[in-house]
Amino acid sequence: MAKRKYKRKLKAGLAPGTLVFTGEKKMEQVDFSVMQSGEDFYYEKKPNSVMEVIQFISETPNPTEQGTRWVNIDGLHDEGKVAELCHHLELHKLTMEDILSVGQRPKLEEHENYVHIVLRMCMIHPSDGSIVEEQLSFVLLGSLLVTFQEKTGDVFENVRTRIREGKGLIRKRGAGYLLYALMDAVVDHYFVVLEVLGERLEEMELELLDNPGKDSLGRLHMLRREIISLRRSVYPLREVISQFSKIEEPIIEKNTQVFIRDLYDHTIQVIETIEVFRDMATGLLDLYMNSVSNKMNEIMKVLTIIATIFIPLTFVAGVYGMNFNYMPELTWRYGYVGVMGFMLVAGLLMLGYFKRKRWL
């Protein structure tokens, strides 16, 4: 996971509610999309400007086409366009600040006429398999749901397909159910990310058992960083879903509460899995240290055995390297062969003894 850089220093010393985008520009222009749906109808359009979006929001729906309206904004770098839309929706200035200040902790805030939710969306990058993280902001105003994303590309395509094809309950329920469906898509995609992380942990374990190296340690640290970053994004979500389940009618329909409780169970499962993965990553770090230590012990054992074998041989060679005139073996015809034979037999006997003791 690439290190995210948030330009928080741009906001240092500014008054609360000052609109400053603290992320990185990820697309050239801001894209808008609107969807309106009911049990018997469906409408979708891509406006070209903020004014078209405002016009869509301001239009009085046909009595036969009340339904749910969903406005999605991709791209937060244009502070002016985001502020114009937010001012039309009469959002609090602190809400607008949170939308533009990416890197927020997941949270839910209830205001007088709307609900604001911030989540972290995680996806697997299709090219290099890295984990990409992005901030999502949801604003629920009656039958209108507005979502703010940093860039194009999300995990909501299945929800859009269900709206277009009229599958399930998504057209029959209100905007509260749509908000639940989008949050459920975010949580479900955490399982996809966790599956990838689980596979990487298994591969790392096999690598550390087989041939641990410096590259393995670097990849293990990167994997631990990804797990910790994911935990930081998901852990506060439990509190958000808990607050979400306590919102009463008319903001959230009563028949949607049971689905939100199921979403809470999924969130707990994600958190528990992340905790298991974090413990596994810590255990793999210990495994790496033990593997390196064992490898070093094996090397030291071989070197010690070699040194032990050569100690008596060195002693014999040292004795016959002395320059005394009256050493009887110096004039013996087979002295050299005898000494070399003795050294060879001594070495072989020691090797045999080490094997018998299973030191080799």
Residue 3 confidence class, pLDDT cut points 50, 70, 90: very low
Per-residue pLDDT, 350: 87
Cβ neighbours of 328 (radius 10 Å): 7
Q: Where are the alpha helices (DSSP H) in 214-334?
A: 214-234, 237-245, 257-319
Per-residue pLDDT of 276-332, as tens digits, reads: 999 998 888 888 888 888 888 888 888 888 888 888 888 888 888 887 777 887 778
Asked, colleague to colleague, whether 8-290 and 297-356 share their fold, the answer is no
**Taking the mean position of all CA atoms in its chain, how far away is CA 177?**
27
Residue 2 confidence class, pLDDT cut points 50, 70, 90: very low
264 against 39, higher pLDDT: 264
59-68, 77-86, 195-204, 216-225: range with lowest mean pLDDT: 59-68
Q: Is the dihedral of CA 235, 177, 152, 110 positive or negative?
A: negative
Per-residue pLDDT, 297: 85
Sheet containing 131-141, strands listed edge to edge, beginning at the edge strand earlier in sequence: 41-45, 31-38, 68-74, 144-149, 131-141, 115-124, 107-110
pLDDT at 63 over 80: no
Per-residue pLDDT, 99: 92
Cα gap 152→30, rounded to integer Å: 9
pLDDT at 6 over 70: no
Per-residue pLDDT of 13-61, as tens digits, reads: 567 767 787 878 888 889 999 999 888 888 899 999 999 999 988 886 6
pLDDT at 12 over 70: no
Please name the amino acid found at residue 305: I
The domain 297-356 is placed in CATH, from the list 1.10.3720.10, 3.10.20.600, 1.20.810.10, 1.20.58.340, at 1.20.58.340
The ranges assigned to domains in the chain are 8-290, 297-356
Per-residue pLDDT, 1: 45
pLDDT at 248 over 50: yes
Cα distances from 106 to residues 131, 185, 236, in angstroms, run 18, 16, 6
Q: Kindly report the CATH number that applies to the domain delimited by 8-290.
A: 3.30.460.20
Please name the amino acid found at residue 212: P
Segment 203-224 shows an average pLDDT of: 84
pLDDT at 268 over 80: yes
13 against 197, higher pLDDT: 197
pLDDT at 112 over 80: yes
**Please, is 120 exposed, middle or buried when counting C-beta atoms within 10 Å of its C-beta (0-12, 13-18, 19+)?**
buried
Burial state string for 125-149 with b = 16 or more CB within 10 A and e = fewer than 16: eeeeeebbbbbbbbbbbebbbbbbb
Helix (H, G, I), strand (E, B), or coil: what is residue 17?
coil
